[in-house]
Chain A
Amino acid sequence: MIFQFIGQFNNLHLVYTWMTSILSIGLIISSLEDIANRSIYSKTGLLSWKVSRHSSPFFLRGYFSKIFQLILNDQIFQYFLYLKLLLSITLLGLVMGGIISPLVITLLFLLMLLLPLRSQMGLDGAHQMNLVILFGLMIAALAGIDSEISSICLWFIAAELILSYFVAGLNKAFSPIWQKTHALNAIFSTKTYGHETLFRLITNNKAIAFALCWPMVCFELFFVTSLYSVYLCLVFCVVGIGFHLFNAIFMGLNTFLFAFLATYPALFYCVAKINTQ
């Protein structure tokens, strides 16, 4: 049954449909959140263009400066946030109808590039993962979903997923504050990413901090092994879903849930290719 489940991800259309569906739901949420915060991109906001434009000489001088001025200025940029929402909804609607539109994906990718181009401040890992997926998806859609290139794109997305967990795990494993399991206590003590109940639980019982910290580091470090077996892949992915749900519920990292889960079909494809043929 497990082999059957993973085996069906040999079908490129199925993989891209799942990936695009989950991605577009996450993009709709993040676009709505960006629109709710559009004032930070205004003239009087925390990330106004009149300051941001001084962050790179490309924005001030040279051939492209006028283009950047045109597309990244406060007013136009806020319209782009609405356009991003519209395209995300369109992407979901089309994929529900069985269409993966290269045009919509390319436009979305270009719009998503504008955010870090204007300012990297306030962007998170979910945005980075969305960019990775959209880049792969764009090339696959342009080349054709049934093409060999679209298969390479899935390998790239799965590789970025594995790398993201591995790098995060490695940095934690060598960090003194994570080794002593103080990190979770510190994170949950904040209002930004913390949680009152979990903070009290972890503070009063060091065993809980240990039980949450090291399995998470091990999960991130050894996620790469999911490539070697269908069973391992399912175990790691179930744990991964739990991990991102936990982060969404207890840390408020809601958009990470969709951005990372959208990459799992790509991993299933790679695992199916390695293990079921």
Chain B
Amino acid sequence: MCTLITIVFSFLLSLSLLREIPTVSKALGRFSTFMSFIPNWSFFAPTPGMYDYHLLYRGVNHSGEVLDWVEALSVKDKRGPFAFIWHPDKKILKTIIDLTQELVRFSVLVNDNKQICLSIPYLHILNYISSLQHESSIKKVQFMILSSSKLFDYNVEFLSSTHLISLEKT
């Protein structure tokens, strides 16, 4: 039994190490569901998170008028004083970072608008945006992700197509 456990642990440790090698990591990507349980230890490296991401959207009303951009999700200017122990905002910020990075990576990789619109991060954001409370006159939405920091000015990371708002609401 001890030998079996040791083999399992060694296998898991090897996978943690092997996934750091880009070519091996690509091959392991075929088992993405299983690999989601294997730790990836390259925190903030090789390129750390250097931007804050802002999710914006705008509506198009029934007469075709395009409305102003509205911020759907953004980063607070300052963390709370107890963020060292209680920091729930971290989850939503990390989600936006992951969705944006995956969306940008995929859009560069495939460079095909149809495929991009069907990607999981795109659909996640579109579902969220179209589920927000909109004026009844708004028929379509478009979203945009901006990046910024104190070092870098605002930059458009991603601009979506325009989509009809889903009639299905909660």
A interface vs B, CB < 8 Å?
29, 32-34, 36-37, 40, 42-48, 50-52, 54-56, 58, 113, 116-117, 120-125, 128-129, 131-132, 139, 143, 148-149, 152-153, 155-156, 159-160, 163-168, 170-172, 174-175, 177-178, 183, 185-187, 189-194, 196, 199, 245, 248-249, 252-255, 257
Contact = CB atoms under 8 A, between A and B. Distances in A.
Contacts of B88: 32-33, 36-37
Given A132-B39, A252-B90, A187 B49 contact: yes
B47 A139 contact: no
Contact of A54 (B86, B95, B120): B120
Nearest to B99: A121
B149 to A, nearest CB: 4
Interface of B: 1-2, 5-6, 9, 12-13, 16-17, 20, 32-33, 36-37, 39-53, 75-79, 83-99, 102, 120-121, 123-125, 127-128, 131-132, 149-152, 169-170
Contact of B92 (A37, A120, A132, A190): A37
Nearest to B72: A46
Contacts of A193: 49
A33 B91 contact: yes
A203 to B, nearest CB: 8
Nearest to A45: B128
Contacts of A29: 85-86
Q: Identify the interface centre among A113, A172, A186: most chain B CB within 10 Å of its CB.
A: A186
B37 A249 contact: no
B49 A43 contact: no
Contacts of A51: 120, 123-124, 127
A241 to B, nearest CB: 13
A46 B126 CA distance: 9
